[in-house]
């Protein structure tokens, strides 16, 4: 399947995600794929940022279109070395290109979902221009988009774990093989040959038989006597006969199914969830630093605001205003 370029890379991610993970596993043409995802993410976030800033003015829309892609890319630049070093410390064999491609898949999905929500956000901006509601609505949209994108990230890491890229290579120890012991073989007993007596004056034996003997005749096999209460001897490897009553049939024994081997979760997979929390905290704090994105209607345009409070306190304050 040919790799689409530009914005169409999101279609390949959504339709052929197994092909994307296989390309990351094989470390094949990752710089080209990462460049395509970077372009699509920046364009999608710029369009959505323009919708956010249009609540205040055209100038705010332009600055938000530049600051929203910058927010995600700077957060990625801050947190990516931590993810890569986590993998190295715990024995994962991921390259920096593979780590970057994985995170860019999550970022591209997040950006494209935000772009898909842009008409809804614009609709509420036109029909219900309330600053607190509009701000809370877009925070929920960005949070939902980020959760879906991070789900793609965890899915990709599981695929890498299945291919053994998140754990150090294991050295297989071959168990010593004991020499085969041949089963004892009972010697075959040849039938005894008993010469038959020739009476005096009998005609000569046919077929040139001489010395008064006749052709050898095999003696009948002797039937061993079985004493009452004796247990018959069973040779090694022999299967004793089973007496089946009339009307019954023997059914083969069912072999028990082997239990599935549960693979232990590698430390890299556990640390991924810690890294996701770290990514979220860094992103929200950076968003608070780069504000405003919406622009309060009662304030003049400003590129940056003074750093006071934090992102979570502002969200709780906005919720209290609505309820």
The answer to whether 101 and 26 are in contact (CB under 8 A) is no
Domain assignment of residue 160, given as a range:
6-168+267-322
On whether residue 253 sits in a domain, the answer given is no
Number of domains in the chain: 1
DSSP class of 54: T
pLDDT for 298 equals: 79
pLDDT for 172 equals: 43
SS3 194: strand
pLDDT for 259 equals: 47
On whether residue 41 sits in a domain, the answer given is yes
On whether residue 57 sits in a domain, the answer given is yes
SS3 123: helix
DSSP class of 309: S
On whether residue 316 sits in a domain, the answer given is yes
On whether residue 16 sits in a domain, the answer given is yes
Q: At what angle do helices 30-53 and 96-127 cross, to 10 degrees?
A: 20
The neighbour count for residue 8, using CB atoms within 10 Å, is 12
On whether residue 313 sits in a domain, the answer given is yes
On whether residue 197 sits in a domain, the answer given is no
On whether residue 252 sits in a domain, the answer given is no
| Cα(48)–Cα(222) distance, integer angstroms | 101
23-32 contacts at long range (C-beta below 8 A, 24 or more positions apart): 24/98, 24/101, 24/102, 24/156, 24/160, 25/98, 25/159, 25/160, 25/163, 25/165, 27/95, 27/97, 27/98, 29/3, 30/97, 30/98, 30/100, 30/101, 31/97, 32/3
pLDDT for 62 equals: 94
Q: Output the CA angle 96-97-100, nearest 5 degrees.
A: 85
What is the pLDDT tens value at each position of the chain, 323 positions in all? 445 444 578 889 988 888 999 999 888 889 999 999 999 999 999 999 999 999 988 999 999 999 999 999 999 999 999 888 887 887 777 888 998 999 999 999 999 999 999 999 999 999 988 888 999 999 999 999 999 999 999 988 888 888 777 666 554 444 455 555 555 555 544 444 445 455 555 555 555 444 444 454 455 555 555 555 555 555 555 555 666 667 666 666 666 555 444 455 666 677 888 888 999 899 988 988 888 888 888 788 887 777 777 777 777 877 887 76
């Amino acid at each position: 399947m040919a790799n689409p370029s530009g914005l169409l890379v999101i279609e390949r991610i959504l339709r052929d995600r197994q092909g994307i993970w296989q390309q990351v596993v094989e470390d094949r043409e990752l710089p080209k794929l990462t460049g395509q995802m970077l372009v699509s993410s920046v364009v999608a976030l710029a369009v959505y940022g323009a919708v956010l800033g249009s609540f205040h003015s055209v100038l705010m829309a332009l600055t938000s279109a530049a600051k929203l892609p910058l927010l995600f890319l700077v957060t990625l630049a801050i947190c990516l070395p931590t993810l890569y070093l986590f993998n190295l410390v715990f024995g994962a064999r991921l390259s920096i290109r593979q780590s970057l491609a994985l995170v860019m898949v999550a970022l591209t999905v997040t950006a494209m979902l935000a772009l898909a929500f842009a008409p809804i956000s614009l609709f509420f901006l036109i029909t219900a221009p309330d600053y607190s509601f509009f701000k809370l609505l877009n925070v929920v949209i960005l949070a939902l988009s980020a959760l879906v994108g991070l789900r793609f990230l965890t899915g990709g890491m599981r695929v890498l774990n299945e291919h053994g890229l998140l754990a150090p290579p294991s050295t297989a120890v071959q168990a010593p093989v004991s020499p085969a012991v041949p089963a004892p073989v009972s010697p075959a007993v040849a039938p005894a040959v008993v010469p038959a007596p020739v009476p005096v004056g009998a005609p000569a034996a046919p077929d040139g038989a001489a010395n008064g003997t006749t052709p050898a005749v095999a003696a009948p096999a002797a039937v061993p006597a079985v004493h009452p209460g004796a247990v018959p001897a069973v040779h090694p490897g022999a299967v004793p006969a089973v007496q089946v009553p009339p009307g019954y049939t023997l059914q083969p024994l069912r072999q028990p199914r082997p239990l599935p081997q549960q693979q232990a979760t590698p430390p890299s997979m556990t640390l991924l969830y810690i890294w996701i929390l770290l990514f979220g905290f860094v992103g929200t704090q950076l968003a608070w630093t780069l504000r405003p994105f919406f622009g309060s209607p009662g304030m003049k345009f400003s590129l940056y605001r003074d750093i006071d409070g934090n992102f979570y306190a502002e969200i709780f304050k906005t919720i209290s205003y609505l309820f």
